[in-house]
Chains A and B, each alone.
Chain A
Amino acid sequence: MAGTFDLIGSHTVTAAAGDAAINFTGIGTSHDDLYVLLECYGTTAGTLQLNCNSNSSNVWSGFGRQFTATGTTADFMDTSSAAKTKFNAALVNNYQSNMSLYEMYFTGYRDTAVQNVPIINYRNISASYDVRVGDSFAAFGAGTSSNATAITAINLNLDTGNFGQNSRCSLYGISNTI
Chain B
Amino acid sequence: MPTVTEVNVTTGVTTNREMTSEEIAVQEASNAVQKKADDAAAVVAAQVATDKASGNSKLKALGLTDAEITALVG
- Given A20-B19, A157-B27, A162-B2, the answer on whether A10 and B7 have CB atoms closer than 8 Å is yes
Number of A-B contacts (CB under 8 A): 74
- Given A10-B7, A25-B9, the answer on whether A82 and B30 have CB atoms closer than 8 Å is no
Q: In which size bucket is the chain A interface?
A: 20 to 34
- Given A82-B37, A86-B34, the answer on whether A26 and B5 have CB atoms closer than 8 Å is no
Q: How far is A8 from B1 in the complex, measured between Cα atoms in Å? A: 29
Task: Specify which chain B residues have a CB less than 8 angstroms from the CB of A26 in the assembled complex.
Answer: 8-11
How many residues from B make CB contacts under 8 Å with A? 22
B6 touches A25 (CB 8 A): yes
Q: Is B16 an interface residue (CB 8 A)?
A: yes
B9 touches A8 (CB 8 A): yes
User: Chain B interface mostly helix, strand, loop or mixed?
Assistant: mixed
Task: Specify which chain A residues have a CB less than 8 angstroms from the CB of B14 in the assembled complex.
Answer: 11
Q: Is B3 an interface residue (CB 8 A)?
A: yes
B35 touches A21 (CB 8 A): no
- Given A20-B4, A79-B41, the answer on whether A51 and B34 have CB atoms closer than 8 Å is yes
Q: Could you list 19 examples of A-B contacts with CB < 8 Å?
A: A8-B9, A9-B8, A15-B16, A19-B3, A21-B23, A21-B27, A23-B4, A23-B5, A23-B6, A24-B9, A26-B8, A27-B10, A28-B9, A51-B31, A51-B34, A78-B37, A79-B41, A85-B33, A160-B31
Listed from nearest, the 10 A-B pairs whose CB atoms lie closest are: A20-B2, A26-B10, A9-B9, A26-B8, A21-B4, A9-B7, A159-B31, A8-B9, A23-B6, A19-B5
Known: A19-B2, A25-B6. 6 other contacts (CB 8 A): A8-B9, A13-B5, A19-B4, A20-B27, A25-B8, A51-B34
Chain A interface residues (CB < 8 Å from chain B): 8-11, 13, 15, 17, 19-28, 49, 51, 78-80, 82, 84-86, 88, 157, 159-160, 162, 171
